[in-house]
């Protein structure tokens, strides 16, 4: 059986480029999506020479309507694409009150809107086929408001929730959805966000990150956190969340919110 083609966003460098390398070596054809066509061409030429797989280049800025629309069309129309890797992402440096609204709007466009739109573009075809995979690359920052990256963290919380929601909805229809949550990883996102090198924490290598994520992919994990060594902590977190669900069905406020007790 021919391996399905993989479309990877943010494929010109970092996590996306390593995903491209690993899937090519597994025999998958690729569609590489990013703004930097020259870097993607160089990567595509190298991987084709080394693996023989067919690689298409689709330059697109996912912060712009035309860019997102072009990738949506490719996902809808190319029946050979069986895996979507929603990897493209941005960060914005500085505290919330000094960040520009233009930068924040672009952040949300790439990290939230494009992720949702591309998943939505491909989902009907995957459901109709009864198979397909959506990999959404988020971040542990979406679990840690204490890190102080309010809007970036909120976009990554969205990616996790979207992934879990899609797994619940699409999983029974044959579509596998994986959320990958890296912590600090050695990508260009730090320099692009203007991070102070002295403040950057120890970083996991990109190769190690993607190889671990692919182990989770092969195991069909719904959520993969390569940096988390104690998996029981995630299980406990999930169990505590699920345990609250029945309590949300109450029709009266909890006694602690009675006005006569304040």
Residue 47, in any domain of the structure: yes
Residue 210, in any domain of the structure: yes
Give me the sheet containing 30-34, strands edge to edge: 55-59, 30-34, 5-9, 81-86, 132-137, 175-180, 223-224
What's the confidence (pLDDT) of residue 192?
67
Looking at residue 30, which CATH number applies to its domain?
3.40.50.720
Tokens 């709007």 locate to 105
- Choosing from 19, 152, 176, 237, the catalytic residue is 152
Host domain of residue 29: 5-231
Q: Do residues 135 and 181 make contact, with C-beta atoms less than 8 angstroms apart?
A: no
What's the confidence (pLDDT) of residue 259?
85
Residue 248, in any domain of the structure: no
Residue 256, in any domain of the structure: no
> Tens digit of pLDDT for each residue in 10-28?
999 999 999 999 999 999 9
Read out DSSP for 43-103? Answer: HHHHHHHHH---EEEEE--TTSHHHHHHHHHHHHH-TTEEEEEE-------S-GGGS-HHH
Residue 184, in any domain of the structure: yes
> Tens digit of pLDDT for each residue in 217-253?
999 999 999 999 999 999 999 999 999 999 999 999 9
The number of domains in the chain is 1
Residue 116, in any domain of the structure: yes
| DSSP assigned state of 215 | H
What's the confidence (pLDDT) of residue 148?
87
Between CA 28 and CA 20 the distance in angstroms is 9
152 flagged as catalytic: yes
Residue 169, in any domain of the structure: yes
> Tens digit of pLDDT for each residue in 149-207?
999 999 999 999 999 999 999 999 999 999 999 998 877 665 666 655 556 677 889 99
Residue 129, in any domain of the structure: yes
What's the confidence (pLDDT) of residue 159?
98
Between CA 258 and CA 262 the distance in angstroms is 7
């Amino acid at each position: 059986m021919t391996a399905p083609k993989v479309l990877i966003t943010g494929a010109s460098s970092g996590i996306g480029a390593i995903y491209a390398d690993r899937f090519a070596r597994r025999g998958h054809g690729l569609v590489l999506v990013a703004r930097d066509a020259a870097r993607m061409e160089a990567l595509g030429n190298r991987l084709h020479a080394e693996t023989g797989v067919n690689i298409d280049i689709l330059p697109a800025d996912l912060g712009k309507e035309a860019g997102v629309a072009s990738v949506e069309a490719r996902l809808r129309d190319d029946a050979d694409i069986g895996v979507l890797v929603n990897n493209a992402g941005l960060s914005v440096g500085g505290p919330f009150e000094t960040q520009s609204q233009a930068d924040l709007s672009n952040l949300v466009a790439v990290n939230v809107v494009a992720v949702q739109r591309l998943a939505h573009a491909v989902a009907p075809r995957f459901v109709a086929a009864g198979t397909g995979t959506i990999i959404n690359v988020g971040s542990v920052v979406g679990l840690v408001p204490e890190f102080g990256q309010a809007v970036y963290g909120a976009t990554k919380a969205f990616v996790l929730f979207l992934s879990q929601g899609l797994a619940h909805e699409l999983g029974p229809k044959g579509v596998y959805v994986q959320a990958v949550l890296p912590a600090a990883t050695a990508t260009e996102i730090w320099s692009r966000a203007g991070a102070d090198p002295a403040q950057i924490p120890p970083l996991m290598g990109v190769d190690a990150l993607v190889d671990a994520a692919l182990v989770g992919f092969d195991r069909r994990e719904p959520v993969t956190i390569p940096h988390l060594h104690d998996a029981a902590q995630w299980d406990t977190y999930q169990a505590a969340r699920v345990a609250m669900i029945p309590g949300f069905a109450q029709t009266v406020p909890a006694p602690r919110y009675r006005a006569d007790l304040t």
